[in-house]
């Protein structure tokens, strides 16, 4: 029997990564580059240390976002890791200020969609059979009392992933999403602090609790998500589109 083993080699591919300055995005940059891809990356931070050509953009500023979209057209990616996002908390009764909703939807949905659209237009214009990987979340599969806006944005990511996959299938462009569970990134210091504020917990308590509650018994690492991104970027997943893969240690049963 001849084994048809599709490669994970990304040599000759061009990858564009958003939210690249730390955590999951930084790990994705390292994994893509290690497998041979030419990587371009962006985040709001001015400083970046990684194997990528980097530019800083502010996704909530229309002029900056427009410049980012122009850059995507110039580099002509065939891999998009659409990762940039904001997180915040507040109960339905207390989060009456719509500014939080506007910020989260501005980055997590509006800018996310604009970047996905720009990348897909570039792929179609040059005839690339590309792979778009959107970052969803376990929060996009269920509501959470204190995280309503964030949950709603990630549910939108899942829905847009499905619609884009169907629209782009005739162009041989695959669109999938990853739903991380609790991942031990620098952002968790902020998340833990918010839970301490809203739930009256001690610093570090929430992080310990959520890790222990995962069926596998611990929080995931950024590399766990990056490896899933490599799978979706490579020919290993050539017959997959419109799917959302849970990388969450068993937190959400689908």
Return d(Cα 110, Cα 114) in angstroms, integer: 6
Query: What torsion, rounded to 10 degrees, do the Cα atoms 73, 18, 135, 233 define?
Result: 60
Report whether 136 contacts 179 (CB < 8 A): yes
Q: Is 202 helix (H, G, I), strand (E, B) or coil?
A: coil
Q: Residue 28: which of 180, 246, 139, 140 has the closest Cα?
A: 180
Q: Any residues with CB less than 8 A from the CB of 41 and at least 6 apart, and which?
A: 16, 17, 18, 20, 25, 29, 48, 50, 52, 53, 54
Report whether 165 contacts 180 (CB < 8 A): no
Catalytic, 40? Answer: no
Catalytic residue among 40, 54, 113, 150: 150
Active site residues: 150
């Amino acid at each position: 029997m001849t084994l048809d083993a599709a490669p994970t080699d990304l040599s000759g591919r061009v990858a564009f990564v958003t939210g690249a300055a730390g955590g999951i995005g930084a790990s994705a940059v390292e994994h893509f580059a290690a497998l041979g891809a030419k990587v371009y990356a962006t985040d709001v931070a001015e400083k970046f240390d990684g194997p990528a050509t980097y530019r800083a953009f502010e996704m909530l500023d229309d002029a900056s976002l427009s410049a980012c979209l122009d850059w995507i057209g110039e580099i002509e990616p065939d891999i998009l890791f659409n990762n940039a996002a904001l997180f915040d908390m507040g109960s339905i009764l207390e989060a009456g200020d719509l500014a939080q909703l506007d910020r989260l939807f501005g980055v997590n949905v509006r800018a996310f969609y604009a970047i996905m659209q720009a990348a897909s237009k570039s792929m179609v214009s040059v005839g690339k059979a590309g792979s778009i990987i959107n970052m969803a979340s376990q929060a996009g599969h269920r509501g959470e009392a204190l995280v309503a806006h964030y949950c709603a944005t990630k549910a939108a990511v899942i829905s847009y992933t499905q619609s884009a996959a169907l629209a782009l299938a005739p162009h041989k462009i695959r669109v999938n999403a990853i739903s991380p569970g609790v991942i031990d990134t620098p952002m968790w210091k902020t998340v833990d602090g918010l839970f301490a504020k809203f739930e009256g917990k001690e610093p570090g308590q929430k992080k310990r609790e959520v890790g222990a509650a995962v069926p596998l018994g611990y929080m995931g690492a950024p590399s766990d998500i990056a490896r899933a991104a490599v799978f979706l970027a490579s020919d290993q997943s050539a017959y997959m589109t419109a799917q959302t893969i849970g990388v969450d240690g068993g937190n959400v049963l689908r």
